[in-house]
Amino acid sequence: MTEAAFTANATNATNATNAAPVPEAVGAAEHFDVLIVGAGISGIASAYHLNDQCPEMRFVVLESQAGYGGTWLTHRYPGVRSDSDLYTFGYRFKPWTGTPIATAAEILAYMGEVIAENGLARHIRYRHAIRSASWSSEQSLWTIEASRSDTGATVRFTANFLWMCQGYYRHAQGYTPEWPAMADFRGRIVHPQDWPEDLDCTDQRVLVIGSGATAATLVPALAGRCAHVTMLQRSPTYFITGRNANVLADELRQLKIDESWIHEIVRRKILHDQAVFTQRAQQEPETVKAELLAGVRASLGPDFDVDTHFTPRYRPWRQRIAYIPDADLFQSVREGKASVVTDEIERFVEGGVQLKSGRTLEADVIVTATGFDLSVLGDIAFTIDGKPLVFSDSVTYRGMMFTGVPNLVWVFGYFRASWTLRADLIGDFVCRLLCHMRDKGVGSVVPVLRPEDREMALGSWVDPENFNPGYLMRGMHLLPKRGSKREWQHTQDYWGEKDEFPAIDLDDAVFAYGGRAPAR
């Protein structure tokens, strides 16, 4: 672990220690107006917005881990970094002043500053894993039970509103396919999500299975530290290369422009450029494909077989495009410190893996950078008035609320833009909704299909022809349905939603209000 990462984790531990005390066993439940699930990038954003826009409301953040950070705390594999620029992945209310692509330690430090500067530590309870959440329409109340990993005790909370910020995948373990004869391999098999602290790759032959952002981060981080690293992929991925710097931000700093102005100007420029790129990828995919591959060829040189190893089968933007800062992945390959093999696994053998082509790749360590498992609403046991919630039976309202599920919002970000952009939009919406409910004197709200919506066609959460990564395809049956109308979809369109969300009519018939406002 780097010194910076060590410092960030120490800061995490300090914040965890400073968290408010909690009851030791099941007894009288603590009550809050709002309960936020998760202290990752979304949870801290939501806590900030609630603290800033609804200061009169009592809230608590429950986090299962020992500190804040979510992905950036649990992922500790070599080189772990963002694959989105921090001017848009960072919060809109907190200027980012570092390089666009940041390490996990830098992101944790940034989040720690947000917590400290806004007095959020007192609201966060670490080591609290929520097991169940039960809604009572009679009381307009959620009852939540959580277990404490430090004491083993079960604690209870009640809340008027649940704000789900737990992410979308299981942090406890990653996804590894079951290949034939895995037990025959005499070396070590690890998943990046469970990177062992005692793993020393010095003088080891490392085989990284996968071709996404994690593999593209791991390979250059390991290259030069081990005997050799090979990236084995079933099919290639699109990559964008560029300097890990922002020319506009650097020029504005030379002009002594205030950092808050720089953050907003650069943020808007990046978002504009992303919108143009996305539109071009949809309207002229072959041209965009040629441009992306030209960047790869420029990095790898004229003799590398780009057609085989870096030309995907799908059109651009059907899956997330990973950013390679300073072309470090390609530089590792060009220098001979890393290799890329495009093939499929037939079976594992004692000394590595045998491929369907008949070739055997020898390895001492195999890293399965093969994705993760979808976690729907944190794998919490939900009941509504005593009946188990079947989440897939609901219809999503704008990818954040769900028919039949009162007083609950789920932060699910963007696939093609920074996750945090949507966390900020939803933060504004929830705070506005909570204030609206208070002013109306009501205790509950649930989205309902209006008469004009009841005959609309329903489909899967996302259109697989539009976006189809493996983790989503494996878990699609667990997710709510989407409708044919825009408000009944998770559109993935930040550039539309940034104008639509502030204009949502909270008195539209889509919102069914009920119950009496809780006594304060």
pLDDT of 3: 34
Report whether 347 contacts 180 (CB < 8 A): yes
Which region among 279-288, 398-407, 428-437 has the lowest average model confidence (pLDDT)? 279-288
Answer yes or no: is pLDDT of 12 > 90.
no
Residue 166, phi then psi, degrees to nearest 5: -85, 0
**435-448 mean pLDDT:** 97
Report whether 136 contacts 143 (CB < 8 A): yes
pLDDT bin (cut points 50, 70, 90) of residue 2 is very low
Q: Assess if CATH 3.20.20.140 describes domain 176-370.
A: no
pLDDT bin (cut points 50, 70, 90) of residue 175 is confident
pLDDT of 510: 97
User: 225 vs 9, 208, 384, CA distance in Å?
Assistant: 24, 14, 53
**44-61 mean pLDDT:** 98
User: Are domains 3-171+374-450 and 176-370 of this chain identical in fold?
Assistant: yes
The domain ranges of the chain are 3-171+374-450, 176-370
Which region among 27-31, 190-194, 432-436 has the lowest average model confidence (pLDDT)? 27-31
> Which of 21-30, 410-419, 493-502 holds the top average pLDDT?
493-502
**142-147 mean pLDDT:** 97
Report whether 343 contacts 355 (CB < 8 A): yes
For the stretch 257-307, pLDDT in tens is 999 999 999 999 999 998 899 889 989 999 999 999 999 999 999 999 999
- Where is 263: in which H helix or E strand? helix 259-283
Mean confidence (pLDDT) of the chain: 91
pLDDT of 468: 65
pLDDT of 129: 96
Answer yes or no: is pLDDT of 328 > 90.
yes
Answer yes or no: is pLDDT of 44 > 90.
yes
CATH topology (fold) of 3-171+374-450: FAD/NAD(P)-binding domain (3.50.50)
Which region among 60-64, 89-93, 94-98, 490-494 has the lowest average model confidence (pLDDT)? 490-494
pTM of structure: 0.91
Report whether 225 contacts 333 (CB < 8 A): no
Answer yes or no: is pLDDT of 254 > 90.
yes
Contact residues for 185 (Cβ-Cβ < 8 A; gap 6+): 348, 349, 350, 351, 352, 353, 366
For the stretch 349-362, pLDDT in tens is 999 999 999 999 99
Which region among 279-288, 317-326, 364-373 has the lowest average model confidence (pLDDT)? 317-326
pLDDT of 476: 81
pLDDT of 27: 61
Q: Can you spell out the DSSP letters for 429-487? A: HHHHHHHHHHHHT-SEEEE---GGGTTS-EE-SS-TTT---HHHHHHGGGSPBEESSGG
Picking from 512, 394, 392, 398, the residue whose alpha carbon sits closest to that of residue 450 is 512
**488-505 mean pLDDT:** 93
For the stretch 192-213, pLDDT in tens is 999 999 999 999 999 999 998 8
For the stretch 80-104, pLDDT in tens is 999 889 999 999 999 999 999 999 9
pLDDT of 373: 80
Contact residues for 91 (Cβ-Cβ < 8 A; gap 6+): 45, 48, 114, 420, 424
Answer yes or no: is pLDDT of 18 > 70.
no
Picking from 385, 429, 387, the residue whose alpha carbon sits closest to that of residue 410 is 429
3-class secondary structure per residue, 40-81: CHHHHHHHHHHHHHCCCCCEEEECCCCCCCCHHHHCCCCCCE
